[in-house]
């Protein structure tokens, strides 16, 4: 999985938690909403990064199951 994707997702989650906490502390509902939205964006990015990693792994496994003979038939 792309480490950059996971780091980006984690940054969004942390920024979101901070914004949500600041919003709650200052009684600013728009700040709370912004924080929750950032956290959701981080969760989505995390899910996408995992899906990309799984697809890469599946592609590698499929490639390993093909032989090197002419025609590349599956074993």
CB neighbourhood size of 68 (10 A): 5
Cα–Cα distance for residue pair 4/18, rounded to 1 Å: 21
- Cβ atoms 16, 33 nearer than 8 A: no
Res. 58 pLDDT band, cuts 50 70 90: confident
Distance between start and end Cα atoms, the chain: 27
Confidence of residue 70 (pLDDT cuts 50, 70, 90): low
Q: Which of 51, 49, 66, 65 is nearest to 5 (CA)?
A: 49
pTM exceeding 0.85:
no
pLDDT tops 60 at residue 30: yes
pLDDT at 74: 56
């Amino acid at each position: 999985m792309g480490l950059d994707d996971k780091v980006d997702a984690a940054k969004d989650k942390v920024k979101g938690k901070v914004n949500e906490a600041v919003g709650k502390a200052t009684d600013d509902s728009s700040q709370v909403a912004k924080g929750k939205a950032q956290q959701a964006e981080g969760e989505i990015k995390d899910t996408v990064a995992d899906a990309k990693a799984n697809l890469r792994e599946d592609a590698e496994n499929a490639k390993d199951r093909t032989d090197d003979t002419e025609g590349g038939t599956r074993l």
